[in-house]
């Protein structure tokens, strides 16, 4: 795929589905009850939101309309939705107003998605405004948790979001290649692998 455009939302929602669900389960296991968290844009993050419904007393700030819709029905959750311009294609809320809004908070966890991780450990994405919001979110989270399936390693995208060292925990569905493992270890990133043993028996 060219590095200037992302796959259509509906198509991404179908891609990597069992993997995304496993990643989502593992992320949810890592979030304690009564935590505060940012959740940003992405289909993996929507799967995470569904898994978090079994939690108690979460405070969730999101710039993702789909995430807000998933978690807002739970009475013991406090759900805050960022202001800004809504993208019709994926329900993401982006723009200057969104960045300013995010910057008013400090949360226990920031859950972000990514379009690609370059071979040098750069975190890459396609949309400049989305990247700016993600950067604000990283800055205002005590722990940054990156959820990404194995296809994102070595995948090219045009805009640099940050470095692998900006994140604390990486959750993926299979062990990355050795040079990524070295990068992750050198950057003190905890890597959690959601492998097939986490699948529900059918």
What is the structure's pLDDT at 8? 77
What is the structure's pLDDT at 202? 43
User: Residue 28 and residue 53: Cα distance in Å, rounded?
Assistant: 9
What is the structure's pLDDT at 200? 55
What is the structure's pLDDT at 152? 95
User: Residue 155 and residue 150: Cα distance in Å, rounded?
Assistant: 10
pTM: 0.90
Residue 18 parent element (H or E): helix 17-30
What is the structure's pLDDT at 17? 86
**What are the per-10-residue average pLDDT scores of the chain (202 residues)?**
67 77 96 98 94 98 97 97 91 92 96 96 94 96 96 95 97 96 97 79 46
What is the structure's pLDDT at 11? 76
DSSP per position, 76-121: T-EEEE--SEEPTTT-BEESHHHHHHHTT--EEEEEE--SEE-TTS
What is the structure's pLDDT at 195? 83
What is the structure's pLDDT at 23? 97
What is the structure's pLDDT at 5? 62
């Amino acid at each position: 795929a060219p590095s200037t455009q992302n796959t259509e939302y509906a198509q991404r929602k179908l891609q990597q589905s069992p993997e995304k669900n496993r990643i989502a389960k593992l992320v949810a296991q890592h979030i304690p009850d009564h935590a505060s968290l940012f959740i940003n844009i992405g289909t993996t993050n929507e799967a995470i939101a569904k898994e978090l419904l079994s939690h108690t007393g979460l405070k969730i700030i999101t710039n993702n309309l789909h995430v807000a819709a998933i978690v807002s029905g739970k009475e013991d959750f406090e759900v805050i939705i960022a202001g800004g311009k809504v993208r019709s294609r994926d329900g993401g809320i982006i723009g200057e107003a969104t960045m300013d809004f995010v910057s008013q908070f400090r949360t226990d966890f920031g859950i972000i998605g990514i379009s690609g991780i370059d071979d040098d450990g750069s975190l890459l994405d396609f949309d400049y405004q989305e990247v700016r919001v993600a950067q604000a979110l990283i800055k205002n989270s005590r722990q940054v948790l990156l959820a990404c399936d194995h296809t994102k390693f070595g995948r090219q995208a045009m805009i640099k979001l940050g470095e692998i060292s900006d994140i604390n925990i990486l959750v993926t569905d299979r062990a990355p290649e050795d040079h990524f493992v070295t990068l992750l270890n050198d950057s003190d990133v905890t890597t959690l692998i959601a492998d097939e043993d986490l699948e529900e028996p059918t």
